[in-house]
């Protein structure tokens, strides 16, 4: 818990990035900035679009992918498909040979955009634990990176940050939630654009699997 220095009240976490954590006091409206490592020491509130389903020994997190920026992808998809359909129709009328050369790569891109748009509108990620297995799955639109691990093999869970370059004058990062296994192997469970989600999922998995720092160390040794 971090407290406002003016009012001694708990701050609400309003931004979590690879470079800082910002907390705001709801009482006096003062905003504080902290080092990024502070985020992992705080209990992260449940992020938007995530539901925690407590079911005894089989807890589950469901994360709905939809966010308003997904609509940009839908507009791009509609625009690109309109352009491709118009161009294919025109080129086909003028030259049957050019039709195949032009349409195949652009057509595949159009199909890929439709697929990605549907996934970002409809998909959910489910992270579920049973006494035996930890499962991560994505659907209803089939997506890659489903995972199924023996829960007893997991000795640690990490939220990792990867710098991906600069975009629009800002540093751009990707975040992964990674399981470390007893045999030293590592499995990336989730790839996320928002560090808040990565830390929340890591903390939930640590709690479910009873991976306190002491236990992680003793099992990894
Ligand atoms: Zn305050």
195, burial (CB in 10 Å: exposed 0-12, middle 13-18, buried 19+) = buried
- Indicate the residue among 105, 121, 137 that finishes a domain: 121
Question: Which residues have CB under 8 Å from 142's CB, separation 6+?
Answer: none
Q: pLDDT value at position 122?
A: 93
Q: pLDDT value at position 219?
A: 45
Q: List Cβ<8 Å contacts ≥24 apart for 88-93.
A: none
List the structure tokens of 126. Answer: 């489910």
| CA 24 – ligand 1 centroid, Å | 8
CB 176 within 8 A of CB 160: yes
Please tell me the distance from the alpha carbon of residue 156 to that of residue 69, in angstroms, as a whole number: 33
Q: Which domain holds residue 91?
A: 70-121
| CA 27 – ligand 1 centroid, Å | 5
Judged by DSSP in three states, 125 sits in strand
Are residues 58 and 156 located together in one domain of the fold?
Answer: yes
| CA 23 – ligand 1 centroid, Å | 10
Are residues 5 and 107 located together in one domain of the fold?
Answer: no
Q: pLDDT value at position 92?
A: 75
Phi and psi for 63 in degrees, rounded to 5?
Answer: -115, 115
| CA 40 – ligand 1 centroid, Å | 22
Are residues 167 and 215 located together in one domain of the fold?
Answer: yes
Are residues 144 and 90 located together in one domain of the fold?
Answer: no
| CA 9 – ligand 1 centroid, Å | 6
| CA 4 – ligand 1 centroid, Å | 5
Please tell me the distance from the alpha carbon of residue 10 to that of residue 152, in angstroms, as a whole number: 36
| CA 1 – ligand 1 centroid, Å | 14
Please tell me the distance from the alpha carbon of residue 51 to that of residue 210, in angstroms, as a whole number: 20
| CA 84 – ligand 1 centroid, Å | 55
Are residues 184 and 100 located together in one domain of the fold?
Answer: no
Are residues 106 and 81 located together in one domain of the fold?
Answer: yes
CB 126 within 8 A of CB 190: no
Are residues 104 and 56 located together in one domain of the fold?
Answer: no
CB-side exposure of 166: number of CA atoms within 13 Å? 3
| CA 43 – ligand 1 centroid, Å | 20
Q: E-assigned strands of the chain?
A: 12-16, 21-24, 31-34, 50-53, 60-64, 124-129, 133-139, 147-150, 154-167, 170-181, 186-192
What is the percentage of the chain residues whose pLDDT exceeds 90?
A: 53
| CA 3 – ligand 1 centroid, Å | 8
Are residues 81 and 145 located together in one domain of the fold?
Answer: no
Task: Please give the helix or strand (H or E) that residue 74 lies within, else none.
Answer: helix 70-94
- Indicate the residue among 102, 121, 140 that finishes a domain: 121
Are residues 115 and 128 located together in one domain of the fold?
Answer: no
Please tell me the distance from the alpha carbon of residue 180 to that of residue 130, in angstroms, as a whole number: 18
Q: pLDDT value at position 215?
A: 52
| CA 30 – ligand 1 centroid, Å | 6
Q: Write out residues in the chain with pLDDT < 50, as ranges.
A: 217-221
Maximal C-alpha separation, the chain: 74
Number of domains in the chain: 3
Are residues 158 and 143 located together in one domain of the fold?
Answer: yes
Phi and psi for 128 in degrees, rounded to 5?
Answer: -130, 145
Are residues 60 and 167 located together in one domain of the fold?
Answer: yes
Question: Which residues have CB under 8 Å from 66's CB, separation 6+?
Answer: 49, 120, 121, 122
Are residues 59 and 128 located together in one domain of the fold?
Answer: yes
Taking only the tens place, the pLDDT of each residue in 65-76 is 987 777 887 888
| CA 5 – ligand 1 centroid, Å | 7
Whether the full predicted model's pTM is greater than 0.85, yes or no, is: no
């Amino acid at each position: 818990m971090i407290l406002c220095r003016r009012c001694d009240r708990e701050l609400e976490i309003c931004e979590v990035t690879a470079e800082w954590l910002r907390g705001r006091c709801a009482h006096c409206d003062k905003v504080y900035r902290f080092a990024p490592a502070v985020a992992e020491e705080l209990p992260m509130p449940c992020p938007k679009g995530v539901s925690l389903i407590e079911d005894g020994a089989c807890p589950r997190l469901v994360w709905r992918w939809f966010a308003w920026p997904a609509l940009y992808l839908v507009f791009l998809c509609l625009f690109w498909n309109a352009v491709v359909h118009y161009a294919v129709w025109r080129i086909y009328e003028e030259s049957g040979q050019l039709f195949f050369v032009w349409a195949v790569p652009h057509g595949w891109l159009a199909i890929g955009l439709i697929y990605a748009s549907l996934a970002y509108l409809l998909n959910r990620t489910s992270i579920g634990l049973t006494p035996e297995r930890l499962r991560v799955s994505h659907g209803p639109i089939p997506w890659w990176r489903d995972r199924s691990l023996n829960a007893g093999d997991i000795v640690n869970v990490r939220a990792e940050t990867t710098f991906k370059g600069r975009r629009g004058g800002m540093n751009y990062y990707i975040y992964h939630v990674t399981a470390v296994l007893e045999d030293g192997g590592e499995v990336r469970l989730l790839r996320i654009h928002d560090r808040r989600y990565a830390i929340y999922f890591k903390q939930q998995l640590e709690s479910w699997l009873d991976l306190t720092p002491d236990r992680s160390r003793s099992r990894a040794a």
